[in-house]
Structure 1
């Protein structure tokens, strides 16, 4: 037997209390019973209650309060989504920090290899510097291809390839004892791996932030200081006890573990852009000259302290630690300020100060003076490294093109880093070991950077309207 049911008829006088909504679309509280005469808008307290039933109303009779929660799941979803996005964004910063530690941290520590290779391989400083220059060249040059592949959705395969090349290259260095072997392992293999890691990570982290983008990228860039302090300390402590091979293998182990953690932290946020140009002709490209002069300090300060100031190899590493250690302040603080006043506005005076310090290096004649100079110089030089990617990102309006545009500029920059340190090494050799020509070259290059940045900022300001850049 089929029993039919009729819809329940609401009590008389309650029809007007149902299905009400405020003019603004605010969900209403439906009250049934004699204690409610009209629907009332929900409050924050109502939303916290969700749905509640009370049997003892104000009037003493049964009163049931039902919160219409049409917007409640949406609001909770927004809150959870915001929390998740924020968590993932800062995890991405952590992953970026670890990647930069294993790429730029090792590059900034090249002074430990420069001095060691000059002694053990019987090569000139200029020839040894080609190893480090090719390593940085490939990091930037591969950027055009790695950046476009990142935009197309191939971030994770690129990262895996880069991690394998970096760790494998370090292990190959530990087994090498000739110049050409180290050149291929450290210069070509590790450099190629760095290129597959750095540009994609910079493009990825920039898509997570709008308001605090410079701060986030600055914290990521501090990884170069972390690696620049960690790896020289490891070499200084381990090399005399376990030798070069085991020291490099220990470094490779640290790199492998930290890159694995980084891989878990990094996750693409923007939908892939399958089609697009490999080269964006409008990309910002006036910063490449800064890398002509920037790496004189990181490559040659250890050699300078040994040849000119006559201190030991282990003691010379302390100067590299000073430059990289104080660079943490130089990488973090300016990026905090840049979010408010503009990246280029902060970048310009740092380039000017770096230029003056390169010229001032000529007047440093004692070990104590060199330590003081290194402590001061590390701050603006570190800022140039950390603010360079931020400056590029601020001039790219479409986040889907970040990888392509950053990669293109990195490719242009690669020729500056390829020719800079070897040119400075050639100037040192040509003057019989004197550094004055290389110091003048570095200072003049950074001065040129400042002038180009001023012109670029004004040009972009006119095109984009007044505002911080």
Structure 2
């Protein structure tokens, strides 16, 4: 009750007989209780419903997130198949033959926009109660980009369709689930995000041989059209599953990074590490197929199977890394994953013959999955759930910028070269030497990213004023 009302009630009590004053006080108090208590109970009940979702909804949310990641990141992860075709003599894009740097830029723009769009999509999520208004247009734009790419005949056509349209749409489709899911899990947040993000590996495992078979049997045009229609068929029902329940998203914090957070050393190094890791992460997946065909003389179908193997072990690794992280610490697991992925590139890829390259495909698939699966959970852990939305948006925006430079620079190092059925031994040796330079470049990026995330671990402990072995 307001202070003015209390004073008025006291004056009324003095001016009335005792019995009447008591009745007035009792009636006023009763009215206050009747008006206040139901609202309190109702809001408390709503908060419990919002922050304690049923296990059924959690399971549905995980399935929807898995399906979304299957499509978005799965398609991103198999771009190497498209790159191999576009740069080959059979390409329908005549100005793309042998141009690895320019063709890889198509894929990195699509991937980069998928991540960088967070800085625009997350504020939209905060202002929109029904995220279907964001996800459905995203599915439509993404599918349209894939479909229109099937009619491309010039490289700039691919930049407009398979790069820009696809990237914008995939970002609108991707971030509502990625941003909302962590708030619905507490103890098993690492497993939940690991399970959702494991859809990337499964997507690559399934889509890699399927797209390779479609390209060889039906041609690139119909392969892209089928992929576009398939994306639409999966994306529409997934969009209707995701719900923004009351204050779940707003509880995750503001959509712009707080100045106090931005000034922390942990944030600066986290962003720099995300930039470097994104640049290094896409290089093996983009050039795995071209190395297999050009240097190891594998067929395009065999190269797609190697890419599928990489995605398969990556999928398992994302789940297992999430479980391991819940036990030994998410930041600890993240650091080890990034550093060992760098070691696998530097130790196994340079001058790799067929057996060692297969070992590299498997090892990198296992180790590279850790960063992708654990980054969102470590952001929530280091900066708090209240800052998760803003920091996640900023870090993924910077991560998208990193993806834009990684593969194209590797393509510049590799240079322009023509595929041939029987290349000369001297040409193969020269090409192998250039791939060795690509491997060193990629390993250096990942190693530097590992140093950054290790510094984030130390900086976070210093900020909290204590060191914990499990973090």
Give your verdict on TM over 0.5: yes
Instruction: Indicate how the Cα distance of structure 1 residues 280 and 78 shifts in structure 2: closer, same or farther if over 3 A, else same.
Output: closer
Partner of 1:18: none
Aligned to 1:429: 415
Show the counterpart of 1:50.
none
- 2: distance between equivalents of 1:233 and 1:190? 21
Q: Which residue of 2 aligns with 1:448?
A: 448
Q: Kindly tell me: are residues 437 and 270 of structure 1, through their superposed partners in 2, closer, same or farther at Cα, counting changes over 3 Å?
A: farther
Equivalent position SS for 1:395: helix
Shift of 1:377: 1.5
- What residue in structure 2 maps to residue 212 of structure 1? 188
- Write the mapping of 1:315-326 to structure 2, written as runs, cut at 5 A: 315-326=302-313
Which of residues 296, 301, 321 is equivalent to 1:314? Answer: 301
CA contact (8 A) 2:350 2:439 kept: no
The answer to whether the Cα contact below 8 Å between 1:323 and 1:375 also exists between their aligned partners in 2 is yes
Provide the residue aligned with 1:278 in structure 2. Answer: 256
1:175-215 per-position Cα deviation (integer Å, ceiling 9, x unaligned): 22221111110100000112112222211101101111110
Asked if the contact 1:114–1:128 (Cα under 8 Å) also holds between the matched residues in 2, the reply is: yes
What's the offset of the Cα at 1:135? 0.7
- Pairing partner for 2:388 from 397, 402, 407: 402
The CA deviation string for residues 141-196 of structure 1, in whole angstroms up to 9 with x for no partner, is 21111112222335322111211111111111112222111111010000011211
Q: 2:37 is matched with which residue?
A: none
- The question of 1:247 aligning with 2:223 is answered yes
CA shift, 1:375, in A, is 1.4
Residues 100 and 133 of structure 1: CA distance in aligned 2, closer, same or farther (over 3 Å): same
Post-superposition shift, 1:243?
1.8
1:364 Cα offset (Å): 4.6
Residue 229 of structure 2 is aligned to residue 261 of structure 1: no
Q: Pick from 115, 120, 123: which aligns with 1:148?
A: 123
Matched, 1:415 2:390: no
What is the RMSD of the two structures over their aligned residues, measured on CA atoms? 2.5
Greater helix share, structure number: 2
Per-residue CA distance 1:20-75 (angstroms, 9 max, x = gap)? xxxxxxxxxxxxxxxxxxxxxxxxxxxxxxxxxxxxxxxxxxxxxxxxxxxxxxxx
With normalisation by structure 2, the TM-score equals 0.78
The alpha-carbon deviation at position 466 of structure 1 amounts to 4.3
1:386 aligned to which of 373, 385, 390: 373
Query: Are positions 1:227 and 2:203 aligned together?
Result: yes
1:463 and 2:463 correspond = yes
Greater Cα shift, 364-373 or 288-297:
364-373
Whole-Å Cα distance in 1 between the matches of residues 118 and 48 of structure 2?
Answer: 36
1:129 is displaced (CA, Å) by: 0.5
Q: Which residue of 1 aligns with 2:64?
A: 95
SS of equivalent residue, structure 1 residue 91: helix
Aligned length: 393
CA distance in 2, matches of 1:393, 1:219: 17
1:288 and 2:266 correspond:
no
Cα deviation for residue 248 of structure 1 reads 1.4
Contact 1:147–1:405 (8 Å) recurs in 2: no
Runs of at least 5 residues in structure 2 that lack an aligned partner in the other structure: 1-44, 418-429
Contact kept, 8 Å, 1:145 with 1:278, in 2: the verdict is no
* 2:112 pairs with one of 137, 141, 160: 137
Tell me what 1:110 maps to.
79
Supply the distance in 1 between the matched residues of 2:397 and 2:52 (Cα, whole angstroms). 36
Distance in 1, Cα, partners of 2:51 & 2:409: 50
Instruction: Note if contact 1:322-1:371 (Cα within 8 Å) is conserved in structure 2.
Output: no
1:345 Cα offset (Å): 0.7
Gaps of 5+ in 1: 1-75
